[in-house]
Structure 1
């Protein structure tokens, strides 16, 4: 089922009523919306246009358009859209049985499925942001454009869960590699490092400092530097440079300006340094790529 307005408070216990079907909410709002802390079903959550403010398992969280969260059943959530900004919110409230059947089907062997010998699988989702990658974006686009047909909606929701199971497995393994004793500390550090990486992405054409990245992620800059490299196998500066070079490549390929203009537009100070880095990375000079 699809709704085009944000949900209103269902009952005095502050929880969504359990439903035997999946519910997709795709709604635009302009602030002045508050939904108090309540228990959540399995829930997919993202925002477009501007970040949305939430409290996820007691932690204040900004959900941006390039990322999403996926909550476990009975996690807690509060929605606070107090700022007068335009938001396009996508909430997907999953029926528990639908998720459990998806997980069982995706994580069981072919032999178990053929023999109807499956067991309930424990599936836990950490409260961290996940990247809204190209595959997820395509599924969401198909989902919204096929909102009139329940069979199509359930198919695309299954595709979404299937993609997410792989992402959750990868992310959970990354979290476990973080050098901290408590799982809660690992999770919180992963969340802040993810925020740091997304801040770099959002400001790829600007000259941002390590201090600015650390401030955005609420981390000491030396703590950020060592853990960022451990988790993502590169420093924040190296990651920023890779993004700048990739953006420059696309601009040059599509002839969106001169080499000098593109060099400046992606945040390089020196044309010589830019050309040297570009040629080392792509094995072709910027001027040659522009001509071709």
Structure 2
């Protein structure tokens, strides 16, 4: 099923149960433009969330995450969450909801040998794959797959056979990204695997807070409280997992955003300084040159 508008949950007579029942029966894609949209509580199937423009906020496990262009969020089966769009300019949100049986079939194929699949081709995994529910960058390969999916939808509409083929490939790409996350979680300094996994989930909470609220300059105490980690543990384990301290990671987020604005907008350097959360223009220009080797205005001129 394919929707180009978001449901209005506040509309009189809206049948919420009937709406959500569809997610158990079909793969569903939303590609919608909206300024105002709210869903206070949804228990969903495995789903992929991104935006093509603007931003959308998700509430997951008491944390608030902002999904922006170039990022995506995977939510596991039966995960409670809220979502909202509340922006002056419209946001183009793009979501894929995977029917449980469909996702299980793809995952089973990915982890099983050909011999096992021959003996029992329709066996489904008893335990579904559980992803880290954290913000990730859209890889070039995933971007190509999403572009191909959008092109197919634009040209042919929702043709179930063609769409399912493309969704299978996208799910396989998620597995590859998940393997990278697992490898990163093993870098956490702990002995037990279960402890490494729990610590990594908390570090992902810290990382997502930095991405979502970088312009507010969250301090270590705020990040530590949100992720249930002491400040010293946060700094030490964050660097073990991501290769940078929280402050270094925050600066990188800000500079990446600044570079994007320099390339794609006509915003002045002073306005970019403010919007990216730098204290003053001198500090921004100094940090930008250290990272990119050029002053912001010169960088902008080279990208035209």
Q: TM-score, normalised by structure 2?
A: 0.67
Q: Which has the higher helix share?
A: 2
Q: What is the aligned partner in structure 1 of residue 120 from structure 2?
A: 116
Matched, 1:136 2:142: yes
Any stretches of 5+ residues in structure 1 without a counterpart?
204-210, 252-263, 279-289
The verdict on how the C-alpha distance between 1:99 and 1:216 changes in structure 2, with shifts beyond 3 A counting, is: farther
Any stretches of 5+ residues in structure 2 without a counterpart?
225-229, 263-281, 294-301
Distance, in Å, in 2 between the alignment partners of 1:50 and 1:23 is 22
Distance, in Å, in 1 between the alignment partners of 2:166 and 2:17 is 31
Distance, in Å, in 2 between the alignment partners of 1:223 and 1:14 is 46
Structure showing greater radius of gyration is 1
- Contact 2:65/2:209, CA 8 A, preserved across alignment: no
The Cα RMSD (Å) is 4.0
Distance, in Å, in 2 between the alignment partners of 1:68 and 1:140 is 12
- Contact 1:129/1:191, CA 8 A, preserved across alignment: no
Q: What is the aligned partner in structure 1 of residue 203 from structure 2?
A: 189
Aligned residues: 251
Q: How does 1:99-248 map to 2 (within 5 A)?
A: 99-116=103-120, 119-121=123-125, 122=127, 123-147=129-153, 148=156, 150=159, 151-179=161-189, 181=195, 183-193=197-207, 195-196=209-210, 198=211, 212=217, 214=219, 218-219=223-224, 224-235=234-245
- Contact 1:22/1:92, CA 8 A, preserved across alignment: yes
Q: What is the aligned partner in structure 1 of residue 299 from structure 2?
A: none
Q: How does 1:273-284 map to 2 (within 5 A)?
A: none
Distance, in Å, in 1 between the alignment partners of 2:255 and 2:40 is 41
SS of equivalent residue, structure 2 residue 20:
coil
Match of 1:51 among 27, 52, 55: 55
Matched, 1:4 2:4: yes
Cα-to-partner distance string for 1:131-162 (whole Å, 9 max, x where unaligned): 21111111111101101252332222111101
The verdict on how the C-alpha distance between 1:225 and 1:58 changes in structure 2, with shifts beyond 3 A counting, is: closer
Q: TM-score, normalised by structure 1?
A: 0.69
- Contact 1:16/1:41, CA 8 A, preserved across alignment: no
The verdict on how the C-alpha distance between 1:79 and 1:190 changes in structure 2, with shifts beyond 3 A counting, is: closer
